[in-house]
Structure 1
Amino acid sequence: QLTQPVYFALDDASLSAAQAEQLDQLAEFLMAVENSQLNLRIEGHCDDRGTREYNFALGARRAAVIAKQLTEAGLPKDRLKTISYGKERLAYSGVSEFARARNRRGELMLKPVFKAPETPKN
């Protein structure tokens, strides 16, 4: 995991100004020459409430809003992959408000770019 998760309010997929600023800084870091071989997987997660289908859609919206912020900050879309896990991968078990708040998140994972070696031309 690259950074602290981006946490969301109940039934929400919007970023605060502080979260947007942190993502802008992350985009700047990833655009640096020494980091150009790193891609990012953005995972959207939800808490245990709601249907499976609804939470997959909400997780997708959460991942998409993070990706949108990063691309608006200049990171190319082809370096991002979004995925929703809905309520399938809870970070915290239990039904306390603390656990549920920590499960409503977006997680960002660095993925190195693997390029096939070039075949010598004769």
Structure 2
Amino acid sequence: MINWKYCIIGAALVVVLGMLFRMMFEYGVLIGILIPGVIVGYLVNNGYKNGAKNGIITGIIGGFIQGILVYITIDLNLPPFPAVISYILVFALFTTATSAFLDAVGGIIGALIRDKI
């Protein structure tokens, strides 16, 4: 079962921690994506399968928003308008796929931590 409250909280954390850790560390975006997955998997508390499902939803929502924000902040020499939209969408979809995978792994880790405690 998808717990939307925790997915929305996790998506907000993906965006905030991803942007914050991006400024602090070299591969901070990856760390900022994995941590909310662990938190969502821990809070869901229904086993590792539901932790992974909620992590994937969290990664899809947060990764798409973060992909748009990261591309806009990276590229200051923007090409003409139609090319900008296609570049932003491709970068956002790549970030979404990466974020969904990392948050699924984080959701499994968070659920396993919850089971051990």
Task: Tell me the TM-score normalized by structure 1.
Answer: 0.41
Structure with higher strand content: 1
Structure with higher helix content: 2
Task: Tell me the TM-score normalized by structure 2.
Answer: 0.42
Structure whose CA Rg is larger: 1
